[in-house]
C-alpha cells in the first residue's frame, strides 16, 4: 500500500532514534490496526493513539510551513494529508465510542455532564478527547487552505493531479499529447523564472548612475505572504492540546517535535556550537569580545528561480553580524564578514568600506589599541589612515580597497577588503560604516528651506572601528569560527558635502 509521509524533511535527524520513538511516516487508516493482534486492548489503544498524535504533530508542522511558503505544491500536499488524517482520527474515535461530541468538551476535556460509561481509563479518556478536540480545530483550516491555495496559483504553475481509478482523461484537441503530472514533493515551477546567474553585484554609487550587469534588467519582487491571524491562533491551540496530551501516554512512548528538530538543524547549519563558547569562555570574559561563525556567501543568497516569502527572516536576520560599536537607534556598527571562496571578505552595504590585514599567528590577548604587537608600518597605517570627507572621494577609496588598484599609500603593501583565510591566523580590520539618509538613497526633489532634511544631512550616524579577529575552526562547508575583539573606536567620520547630492 502506498504510504504518505508527513512532517518536514529532516533527512539525517532520525538515523539513531530509539525504537520507542515514533517514526515520521504517515499510515492510512487501514494500516492502523495491523500488527497489534497480540497486544492487549490497552496497549492497542496507546499504540494507535500515539501514532495518530505523532502524525498530528507532523501535520501541524507541515501546515505552518505551507501557509507561509509560496509553493502551491506544499499546500496541495498538506491539504490531501489533512483529509486522510481527519478520516483516520474519526475512524479511531468511532471505534472507541460512537459520539465523541457527547463525551468531550471542545477544549479536549471529559465533559462533566457526561454520564456515559465507556471502557476507557482516565488517561485514555484524556487522549481520546484531546484527539477529538485537536482534529476539530484542524478542521477549521479547510476553507483557509482552499482559499490560500488559489492565491498560490498566482505564483507558480499548478499542474492537474492524477485522476482516481476508474476515470478517463481525454482531450478533444490534444488527445495524444503527453500529460505532465505534478510531483508534489518538488517545488512547483514559478512564473517569474529565468533569473540570470550573477556571481557578483555592483556596489551602489551615490551621486552617479552606475552600470548594471544586464541592461534594463529588473529582478523579480519576492512575494510577501502573511499567515492569517485566525490561522495562527488555531495552530497555537492545536499545539497546546498536543503538548498537554503527551503526558497521558506511558513513559516509554516518546514523540518527535519537528519544530525543535528544525531549529536545531538550523543552528547546526548557521550558528556556532555551544561547546565553542565553553572552550573560549575565558577569552569571552574580556570586554568588547565575541565569537562568530563566518558563513559562505551562498548562505545569504536565495536560490535562483525559487520564490521566497520576503516576510520570513533571512539567514542574516536570524544570525546577524556581531555588533562592534555604539548602537544609535537603527544604526548598528557590525563586523560584516563572509566567506567568498577561501577568502574572508567584508560585506559592503551602502557606502561602507574597510580593509583586512593578516598579521599571522598573534594571540588576540596581546593586541591593544596601540597595535604595538604588529609591525610599525601596519600599525601606523591602521591608526593614521584618514577617510575622505567628500562623498565622491570616499567612494573612490572604497573602490581602491576592493580592487587593489590606484593605491598610493605610504607603504608598499596592497590593502584589500578581503584576505586569504588561514587557521590560527589573526587579522586586523579597519571598518568604516555610515547610515545615509533615505533622501540620498532614493533621490527626490526637496525644497531649500526644508530644515529637517538639512539636519539629517548634517547628522549622519557613522563609525570607525579597528577590530581584530582570529580563525579558530574551519568546517567542511567552508565556514570559519572566529574570535573577535574591538581594539579601538576612532572618531566617527564625517561627510561634508552631502547637500550637493540632493535634488532641489
Which is nearest to 293 in space by CA: 256, 313, 268?
268
Are 475 and 296 within 8 A, CB to CB? no
Q: Give me the pLDDT at residue 212, please.
A: 72
Which is nearest to 221 in space by CA: 75, 73, 70, 347?
70
Domain extent, residue 285, equals: 271-501
Q: Which pLDDT band, with edges at 50, 70 and 90, does 441 fall under? A: low
Give the CA distances from residue 31 to residues 34, 48, 91, 92, in Å, rounded to whole numbers and listed in that order. Answer: 5, 10, 12, 12
Asked if the structure places residue 197 within a domain, the reply is no
CA distance linking residue 485 with residue 291, whole number of Å: 9
DSSP conformation class of 471: E
Please compute the mean of the pLDDT values over residues 132-157 and round it to a whole number.
92
Question: Does 318 lie in the same domain as 229?
Answer: no
| CA 309 from centroid of its chain's CA atoms | 10
CA distance linking residue 373 with residue 367, whole number of Å: 6
Question: Which percentage of the chain shows pLDDT scores above 70?
Answer: 80
Asked if the structure places residue 102 within a domain, the reply is yes
Q: Answer with the one of 257, 279, 306 that is the final residue of a domain.
A: 257
3-state secondary structure of 498: helix
Question: Does 348 lie in the same domain as 406?
Answer: yes
**Angle, CA of 485, 397 and 197, to the nearest 5°:** 85
CA distance linking residue 330 with residue 353, whole number of Å: 19
Phi, psi (deg, nearest 5) at residue 143? -65, -30
Cα dihedral sign, 105-108-109-114: positive
Question: Does 322 lie in the same domain as 242?
Answer: no
Question: Does 19 lie in the same domain as 106?
Answer: yes
Q: Give me the pLDDT at residue 98, please.
A: 81
Residue positions counted in the chain: 504
Contacts for 115-124: CB closer than 8 Å, 24+ residues apart: 119/41, 120/45, 120/96, 121/42, 123/248, 123/249, 124/42, 124/45, 124/46, 124/49, 124/248
Cell, residue 54:
505523532
165 vs 267: which has the higher pLDDT: 267
Which is nearest to 401 in space by CA: 348, 361, 363?
348
CA distance linking residue 36 with residue 43, whole number of Å: 8
Question: Does 283 lie in the same domain as 251?
Answer: no
| Residue recorded with cell 529565468 | 194
Residue 195 has pLDDT above 70, yes or no: yes
Asked if the structure places residue 206 within a domain, the reply is no
Question: Does 318 lie in the same domain as 232?
Answer: no
Relative orientation angle of helices 122-139 and 72-96, to the nearest 10 degrees = 140
Question: Which percentage of the chain shows pLDDT scores above 90?
Answer: 54
Residue 12 has pLDDT above 60, yes or no: no
Going by DSSP bridges, is the β-strand pair 353-360/426-434 parallel, antiparallel, or unpaired? antiparallel
Residue 34 has pLDDT above 60, yes or no: no
Asked if the structure places residue 351 within a domain, the reply is yes
Q: Which pLDDT band, with edges at 50, 70 and 90, does 299 fall under? A: very high
Phi, psi (deg, nearest 5) at residue 13? -90, -25
3-state secondary structure of 462: strand
CA distance linking residue 270 with residue 267, whole number of Å: 5
Question: Does 307 lie in the same domain as 227?
Answer: no
Asked if the structure places residue 190 within a domain, the reply is no
Please compute the mean of the pLDDT values over residues 21-41 and round it to a whole number.
40
Q: Which pLDDT band, with edges at 50, 70 and 90, does 453 fall under? A: low
Residue 3 has pLDDT above 70, yes or no: no
Q: Answer with the one of 231, 257, 283 that is the final residue of a domain.
A: 257
Residue 414 contacts by C-beta under 8 Å, 6 or more apart in sequence?
404, 407
Per-range mean pLDDT, top range of 207-216, 372-381, 446-455: 372-381
Number of domains, the chain: 2
Residue 134 has pLDDT above 90, yes or no: yes
Please compute the mean of the pLDDT values over residues 289-300 and round it to a whole number.
96
Q: What is the pLDDT of residues 37-55, one digit of tens each?
A: 445 667 889 999 999 999 9
Residue 193 has pLDDT above 60, yes or no: yes
Q: Give me the pLDDT at residue 210, please.
A: 67
Question: Does 315 lie in the same domain as 445?
Answer: yes
Please compute the mean of the pLDDT values over residues 376-388 and round it to a whole number.
90
Asked if the structure places residue 183 within a domain, the reply is no
Residue 230 has pLDDT above 70, yes or no: yes
Q: Give me the pLDDT at residue 199, please.
A: 66
Q: Which pLDDT band, with edges at 50, 70 and 90, does 139 fall under? A: very high
Q: Give me the pLDDT at residue 360, please.
A: 95
Residue 423 has pLDDT above 60, yes or no: yes
Average pLDDT, the chain: 83
3-state secondary structure of 337: strand
Residue 236 has pLDDT above 60, yes or no: yes
Strand-pairing partners, residue 21, are: 254
Question: Does 68 lie in the same domain as 10?
Answer: yes
Q: Give me the pLDDT at residue 9, please.
A: 35
Question: Does 317 lie in the same domain as 370?
Answer: yes
Going by DSSP bridges, is the β-strand pair 337-340/343-346 parallel, antiparallel, or unpaired? antiparallel
- 27-31, 164-168, 446-450, 496-500: range with lowest mean pLDDT: 27-31
Asked if the structure places residue 162 within a domain, the reply is no
Q: Give me the pLDDT at residue 117, please.
A: 60
DSSP conformation class of 327: -
Residue 86 has pLDDT above 80, yes or no: yes
Kindly state the helix (H) or strand (E) to which residue 358 belongs, with its residue range: strand 353-360
39 vs 207: which has the higher pLDDT: 207
Asked if the structure places residue 203 within a domain, the reply is no
CA distance linking residue 193 with residue 303, whole number of Å: 11
Question: Does 317 lie in the same domain as 252?
Answer: no
Q: Which pLDDT band, with edges at 50, 70 and 90, does 410 fall under? A: low
CA distance linking residue 146 with residue 67, whole number of Å: 11
Residue 185 contacts by C-beta under 8 Å, 6 or more apart in sequence?
73, 77
Q: Answer with the one of 208, 234, 257 that is the final residue of a domain.
A: 257
Q: Which pLDDT band, with edges at 50, 70 and 90, does 257 fall under? A: very high
- Other beta carbons within 10 angstroms of residue 217's beta carbon come to 10
Phi, psi (deg, nearest 5) at residue 329? 55, -115
Question: Does 292 lie in the same domain as 248?
Answer: no
Q: How many helices (H) and strands (E) does the chain have?
A: 14, 10
Q: What is the pLDDT of residues 310-365, one digit of tens each?
A: 999 999 999 999 999 888 888 999 999 999 999 999 998 889 999 999 999 999 99
Please compute the mean of the pLDDT values over residues 295-313 and round it to a whole number.
91
Amino acid at each position: 500500500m502506498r504510504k504518505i509521509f508527513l512532517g518536514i524533511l529532516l533527512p539525517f535527524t532520525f538515523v539513531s532514534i530509539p525504537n520507542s520513538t515514533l517514526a515520521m511516516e504517515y499510515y492510512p487508516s487501514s494500516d492502523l490496526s495491523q500488527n497489534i493482534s497480540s497486544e492487549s486492548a490497552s496497549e492497542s489503544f496507546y499504540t494507535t493513539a500515539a501514532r495518530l498524535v505523532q502524525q498530528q504533530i507532523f501535520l501541524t508542522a507541515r501546515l505552518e510551513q505551507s501557509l507561509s511558503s509560496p509553493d502551491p505544491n506544499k499546500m496541495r500536499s498538506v491539504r490531501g494529508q489533512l483529509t486522510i488524517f481527519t478520516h483516520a482520527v474519526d475512524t479511531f474515535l468511532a471505534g472507541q465510542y460512537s459520539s465523541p461530541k457527547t463525551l468531550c468538551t471542545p477544549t479536549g476535556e471529559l465533559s462533566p455532564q457526561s454520564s456515559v460509561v465507556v471502557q476507557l481509563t482516565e488517561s485514555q479518556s484524556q487522549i481520546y478527547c484531546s484527539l477529538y478536540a485537536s482534529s476539530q480545530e484542524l478542521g477549521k483550516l479547510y476553507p483557509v487552505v482552499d482559499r490560500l491555495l488559489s492565491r498560490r496559483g498566482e505564483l507558480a504553475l499548478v499542474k492537474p493531479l492524477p485522476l482516481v481509478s476508474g476515470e478517463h482523461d481525454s482531450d478533444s484537441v490534444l488527445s495524444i499529447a503527453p500529460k505532465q503530472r505534478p510531483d508534489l514533493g518538488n517545488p512547483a515551477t514559478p512564473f517569474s523564472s529565468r533569473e540570470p546567474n550573477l556571481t557578483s553585484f555592483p556596489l551602489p554609487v551615490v551621486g552617479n548612475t552606475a552600470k548594471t550587469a544586464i541592461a534594463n534588467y529588473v529582478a523579480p519582487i519576492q512575494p510577501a505572504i502573511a499567515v492569517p491571524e485566525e490561522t495562527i491562533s488555531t495552530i497555537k491551540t492545536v499545539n497546546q492540546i498536543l503538548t498537554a496530551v503527551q503526558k497521558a501516554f506511558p513513559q516509554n512512548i516518546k514523540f518527535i517535535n519537528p519544530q525543535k528538530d528544525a531549529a536545531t538543524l538550523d543552528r547546526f547549519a548557521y550558528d556556532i556550537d555551544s561547546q565553542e563558547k565553553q572552550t573560549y569562555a575565558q577569552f569571552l570574559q574580556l570586554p568588547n569580545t565575541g565569537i562568530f561563525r563566518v558563513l559562505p556567501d551562498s548562505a545569504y543568497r536565495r536560490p535562483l528561480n525559487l520564490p521566497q516569502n520576503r516576510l520570513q527572516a533571512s539567514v542574516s536576520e536570524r544570525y546577524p553580524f556581531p555588533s562592534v560599536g555604539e548602537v544609535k537607534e537603527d544604526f548598528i556598527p557590525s563586523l560584516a564578514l563572509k566567506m567568498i571562496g577561501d577568502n574572508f571578505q567584508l560585506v559592503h552595504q551602502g557606502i561602507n568600506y574597510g580593509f583586512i590585514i593578516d598579521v599571522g599567528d598573534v594571540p588576540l590577548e596581546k593586541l591593544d589599541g596601540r597595535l604595538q604587537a604588529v609591525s610599525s608600518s601596519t600599525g601606523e597605517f591602521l591608526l593614521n589612515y584618514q577617510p575622505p570627507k567628500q562623498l565622491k572621494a570616499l567612494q573612490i577609496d572604497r573602490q581602491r580597497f576592493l580592487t587593489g588598484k590606484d593605491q598610493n599609500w605610504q607603504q608598499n603593501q596592497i590593502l584589500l577588503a578581503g584576505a586569504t583565510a588561514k587557521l590560527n591566523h589573526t587579522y586586523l580590520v579597519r571598518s568604516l560604516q555610515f547610515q545615509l539618509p533615505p533622501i540620498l538613497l532614493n533621490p527626490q526633489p526637496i525644497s531649500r528651506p526644508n530644515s529637517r532634511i538639512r539636519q539629517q544631512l548634517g547628522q549622519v550616524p557613522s563609525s570607525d572601528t579597528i577590530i581584530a579577529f582570529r580563525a579558530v575552526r574551519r568546517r567542511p562547508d567552508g565556514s570559519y569560527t572566529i574570535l573577535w575583539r574591538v581594539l579601538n573606536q576612532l572618531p566617527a567620520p564625517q561627510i561634508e558635502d552631502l547637500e550637493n547630492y540632493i535634488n532641489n
